[in-house]
Amino acid sequence: MSITLQELQELNADRIMLIVCPEATTRKYWLTLQHSAGWKQLQAVQNGHVYMISADPWFEYSSVAIARMLDEALLLFTGYCPNEYLDYGYGESLTK
């Protein structure tokens, strides 16, 4: 679901999870947005609580995908995930 910067400012969320589509227009807007004063004033941005997520598993609807979403959200928000088999998708590997 698309949301405007004004809507984000009104929500003043503690955390933001977002997907940026790979096509040129969206990427250009995202790169520009990151440098705007309105974006930088958001509480989540100031606190470093903006999380880039991928379509997989977030756009799926199955019990397996929901379990993966919960594991990934826990990992994003806390740096910890009890599921040792979580697929670290962003090129990161976590050591125990």
Q: For residues 96 and 84, what is the distance between their CA atoms, to the nearest angstrom?
A: 9
Q: What are the residue ranges spanned by the domains of the chain?
A: 1-52, 55-96
Q: For residues 50 and 77, what is the distance between their CA atoms, to the nearest angstrom?
A: 10
- Beta carbons within 8 Å of 60's beta carbon, 6+ residues apart: none
pTM score of the predicted model: 0.65
Residue 84 is predicted with a pLDDT of: 63
Average pLDDT, the chain: 82
**Is residue 27 within 8 Å of residue 20, measured between CB atoms?**
yes
Q: Position of tokens 């994003």? A: 76
Residue 73 is predicted with a pLDDT of: 85
The residue type of 64 is: V
Residue 57 is predicted with a pLDDT of: 75
Residue 48 is predicted with a pLDDT of: 94
For the chain, residues with pLDDT lower than 70 are 81-96
